[in-house]
Amino acid sequence: MVAMAPDSILKKNYQLSENVASACDWLAQETGLPKGRIKLAMTNGAVQVKKPNSKWQRLRRATASLPAGTGIRFFYNPQLLAIKPAMPVLLDDRQQYSVWFKPPGLMSQGNEWGDHCSILRLVELHFNNQRKVFPIHRLDQEACGLILIAHHKKTAAQLSELFSGRDIEKQYRVRVEGKWNSDVKRIEIPLDNKLAITNVAVLEQSNDSTLLLVNIETGRKHQIRRHLSQMGHAVRGDAQYGVKNSQVLHLAATKLSYQCPVQGRLVTYELASDQIDSYWQ
What confidence tens digit (pLDDT) does each residue in 114-141 have? 999 999 999 999 999 999 999 999 999 9
In SS3 terms, the chain reads as: CCCCCCCCCEEEEEECCCCECCHHHHHHHHHCCCHHHHHHHHHCCCEEEECCCCCCEECCCCCCCECCCCEEEEEECHHHHCCCCCCCEEEEECCCEEEEEECCCCECCCECCECCCEHHHHHHHHCCCCCCCEECCCCCCCCEEEEEEECCHHHHHHHHHHHHCCCCEEEEEEEEECCCCCCCCEECCCECCECCCEEEEEEEECCCEEEEEEEECCCCCCHHHHHHHHCCCCECCCCCCCCCCCCCCCEEEEEEEEECCCCCCEEEEECCCHHHHHHHC
pLDDT band at 4 (very low <50, low <70, confident <90, very high): low
Domains 10-81 and 169-253 are alike in CATH topology: no
- CATH number for the region 169-253 comes to 3.30.2350.10
| Per-residue pLDDT tens over the stretch 226-256 | 999 999 999 999 999 998 777 899 999 999 9
Would you kindly state where each structural domain of the chain is located, as residue ranges?
Answer: 10-81, 169-253
pLDDT of 247 reads 82
Looking at the structure, give the CATH architecture of the domain made up of residues 10-81.
Roll (3.10)
Whether 2 has a pLDDT exceeding 70, the answer reads no
Mean predicted confidence (pLDDT) in 66-81: 97
Query: What percent of the chain clears pLDDT 70, i.e. is strictly above it?
Result: 99
